[in-house]
A and B are shown apart, each in its own frame.
Chain A
């Protein structure tokens, strides 16, 4: 896949942004989302999305199938 390296670097940088101050502080509230704490929910949701994005970026391109 073209530019996979660049995509991965950008993905990581976005990840660092998403789970650090100040973005993270927005989720640090005593609020519940579907019965679970917002902060906990936010971090787990981030985790799931991040894993999915890695998997999508690592998918074999049409040229790599062999």
Chain B
């Protein structure tokens, strides 16, 4: 076969199909609810969800808060827990990667905590903190700390050994090697951790709020179920999904800015 010119342009049908498929998805969703194939007590049509969304912007009934307040509470809990987990997890993971003493002291406890899903801490949290803000912050902290530690640790472990040996030859101390070589070269992995941890925090936040909360998006979902209002459940799910997507995009943008000059 002779050399062919590479086609850059995507064919027209590949551009139209995604739009069609989204339209078909929402169309058939609306259709099966409106015609009663799926009873309206089980699933709400998209139009109803949008209607409820507009109502919920101003009306605190029947679950006690407007939508923006629920979203704000969830964001606050996730934000505090996430920042705390970064604050503890990243230094811990980085030092665990390089210093034998730190690794020796923290690894057994970390290995014990690692396989426990954060959701399992909820009952203990309710014992310790009640159902207020700090119980959920604790769960999110536990959720976020595991990926932070693992990625920072692996990131330090992946440091190019030639660089370390070079620094040793020039007489750098252990601490200098750590700060000047290991930490910078672990940065891409650390940024990976930021994203994984955030997604993980967001998931567990919803779980925590389903079980122990009186405000927040997860609470909105569970109230929707208790009041048998499927449109409220779907509204909560959609808001949570949008929140997660927006946060993911933000982190991506920040990462691109900060890591512009670093190899990946």
Question: Are chains A and B native binding partners rather than an unrelated pairing?
Answer: no
Residues of A within 8 A of B (CB): none
B interface with A by C-beta (< 8 Å): none
